[in-house]
Amino acid sequence: MARLNIVLHEPEIPANTGNIGRTCVATGTRLHLIEPLGFSLSEKAIKRAGMDYWKDLDVTTYLDYEEFLQKNPGAKIYYATTKGLQTYTDVKFEDDCYIMFGKESAGIPEEILMKHKENCIRIPMINDIRSLNLSNSVAIVLYEALRQNNFDHMQLQGELHDHKWE
């Protein structure tokens, strides 16, 4: 079963993290949060955005980036950034890879990106747009990674019900 990992480096907005948590639950994806967070995990806003799914989320919190690396040795990490030289569709997302996103106001720190240039990916945008919303960016890249893994373990068909309208 393909398992993917979303990593949020110092997220600042609870509603974004809540939305991302809900997306992770819906896709069977693990969520990793690197502190400092711009909010408390007990805040109503994060639970409201994640709705009643937050209790089902596989989430791990780390004190900093170094602790994240120590606890996930050998992890294949893709760094989502507007500074990436390749698009997210240019790479092959392996089972159990990690896709990291930075905080809303500044992205992933430049010193981290410089050490991992070959794993930096971007979502194409028009030049004068600074960035997309964090939760939208996560959904775009995560669903491409899931598509590449044939949506393993996910329900692929819905069911229509024949309703007679009067």
Alpha-carbon gap, residue 1 to 153, rounded angstroms: 6
102 belongs to an annotated ligand binding site = yes
- Nearest CA to 34 out of 112, 86, 93 is that of 112
38 belongs to an annotated ligand binding site = no
Find tokens 């309703």 and name the residue.
163
Q: Classify burial at 43, counting beta carbons within 10 Å of its beta carbon; exposed 0-12, middle 13-18, buried 19 or more.
A: middle
Alpha-carbon gap, residue 83 to 136, rounded angstroms: 18
Q: Which residues are annotated as a binding site?
A: 102, 123, 131
Q: Which residues are annotated as a binding site for S-adenosyl-L-methionine?
A: 102, 123, 131
